Amino acid sequence: MTGMTGASEDVADIEAMTFEQARDELVRVVSELEQGTPTLEHSLALWERGEALAARCEEWLLGAKRRLDAARSAAGQGG
Average pLDDT value over all residues in the chain: 88
The residue range of the domain holding 45 is 4-78
Q: What is the pLDDT of residue 72?
A: 94
pTM score over 0.75: yes
Distance, in Å, from the CA atom of 50 to the CA atom of 22, rounded to the nearest integer, reads 9
Q: Is the Cβ–Cβ distance between 26 and 54 less than 8 Å?
A: yes
Q: What is the pLDDT of residue 4?
A: 40
Q: Is the Cβ–Cβ distance between 46 and 31 less than 8 Å?
A: no
- Count structural domains, the chain: 1
Q: Which residues contact 10 (CB under 8 A, 6 or more apart)?
A: 1, 49, 52
- Burial code (b: 16+ CB inside 10 Å, e: under 16) for 58-69 equals eeeeeeeeeeee
